[in-house]
Amino acid sequence: MKTNPASWSRGRLIAVIAAGLVLLILVGIGVYGLIAGPQRSTASDPGSEPTVTTPGETGPSTPRLPQVTPSSDPDEFARNVAEALFAWDTGSGLMPLDYTSVILAVGDPSGTEQAGLAADLASYLPSREAWIELRKYATIQHLTIESSFVPEAWDTAVEQAQPGQLPRGATAVTIEGTRHREGVWNGEAVTSEHPVSFTVFLACPPPAPEFRTGLCHVLRLSQLDNPLR
The number of folded domains in the chain is 1
Residue-range definition of the domain harbouring residue 25: 5-221
Residue 47 DSSP one-character state: T
pLDDT at res. 35:
25
Q: Do 67 and 105 contact (CB within 8 A), yes or no?
A: no
Residue 229 lies inside a defined structural domain of this protein:
no
Q: How far is CA 228 from the centre of its chain?
A: 14
Residue 184, Cβ neighbours under 10 Å: how many? 18
pLDDT at res. 207:
72
Evaluate if residue 146 carries a pLDDT over 50.
yes
Confidence of residue 149 (pLDDT cuts 50, 70, 90): very high
Evaluate if residue 71 carries a pLDDT over 90.
yes
pLDDT at res. 54:
37
Residue 117 lies inside a defined structural domain of this protein:
yes
Residue 184 lies inside a defined structural domain of this protein:
yes
Residue 213, Cβ neighbours under 10 Å: how many? 12
Residue 148 lies inside a defined structural domain of this protein:
yes
Query: In this predicted model, what pLDDT tens digit does every residue of 157-215 receive, in sequence order?
Result: 999 888 888 998 999 999 999 999 999 998 999 999 999 999 999 999 887 655 556 79
Residue 93 lies inside a defined structural domain of this protein:
yes
**Cβ density class 118-145: b for 16+ within 10 Å, e for less:** bebbbbbbbeeebbebbbebbbbbbbee
Evaluate if residue 47 carries a pLDDT over 60.
no
Residue 180 lies inside a defined structural domain of this protein:
yes
Please state, rounded to an integer, the average pLDDT across all residues of the chain: 80
Higher pLDDT, 16 or 222: 222
- Output the CA angle 135-136-137, nearest 5 degrees: 85
pTM for the full predicted model = 0.76
Residue 171 DSSP one-character state: E
Residue 226 lies inside a defined structural domain of this protein:
no
Residue 68: what are its φ and ψ, rounded to 5°?
-95, 115
pLDDT at res. 31:
23
Residue 206 to residues 4, 72, 109, 210, Cα–Cα distance (Å):
21, 9, 14, 10
Residue 227 lies inside a defined structural domain of this protein:
no
